[in-house]
Amino acid sequence: MEKVVLITGASSGIGLHTAKLFQTKNWKVAATMRVPEKADELKNIVDIACIRLDVTDVDSIKSAIAQTLEKFGRIDAVVNNAGFAVVGPFEAATQEQIERQMQTNVYGLMNVCREILPYFREQRRGTIVNVASMGGRLTFPLYSIYHASKWAVEGFSESLQFEVKDFNIKIKIIEPGPIKTDFYERSMSISKKEGITAYDNFVARAMPNMQKAGETGPDGSVVAQVIYDAVTDDSWKMRYPVNSRAILLLRRLLPDTLFLPIIRRVVLR
């Protein structure tokens, strides 16, 4: 029997690549996004249904799950991919930016998990893939709010696995490093407050180096492949680094007194 995956944030980047990859592997795909009418790359592909889902709107999550079940008859995996980043000095971030960061990356992901868990629990199987980041286990300057959201995803996911394992529900965490997607453009909100100039020199030195990492990274297809592998490997492995294995290993092995100065030198070189 063909399997079904529901993907959030499937209109571009990693989500778009993931939707297309699963379709080539004979999966039915519920490619969800806030504005499905703009899904030009997906709407005419067989076995892909473009469905409205805003992770900050619980009613839209319920509706998307119901539409997927009505169209395809089942859901075997959910990929929580929707997200964005607030970037810049924390002091310059607005309350709206901080709240939107958490509403999307944390509460939105939790909303999707909460709504799909009863279905997975009843059928006693299912896989939830939470796209976190290497930034959920280490940090860079100017990403403090984004890091807070991704560290939350890591902790939430790890704890949730304890709760749902007896129902044969697998929780997978994807930890991408720099990936060449619109994350560094459309999916980024810059914090800058009028009158705060004290950080300008630091931002001018650090931001180009971090932008360059994304510009030279692999595209979202490499993450899509790891997501597919995580869903289909039939294991209880939890964490899947993508273009981040070396730096995550370094973070684990080195004490703060050695690791943090390395990050500072690389970012401010």
The CA distance from 22 to 27, in Å, is 5
Question: Which residues are within 8 A (CB) of 110 and not within 5 positions of it... i.e. 6 or more apart?
Answer: 156
Tokens describing residue 161: 């696995």
Question: DSSP assignment, residue 107?
Answer: I
User: Annotated catalytic sites, by residue?
Assistant: 146
> How buried is 100 (Cβ within 10 angstroms: 0-12 exposed, 13-18 middle, 19+ buried)?
middle
CA 111 to each of CA 7, 49, 55, 170, 212: distance values in angstroms, whole numbers, following the listed order: 14, 21, 7, 17, 33
Q: Where are the beta strands (DSSP E) in the chain?
A: 4-7, 28-33, 48-52, 77-80, 85-87, 126-131, 169-176, 188-190, 239-242
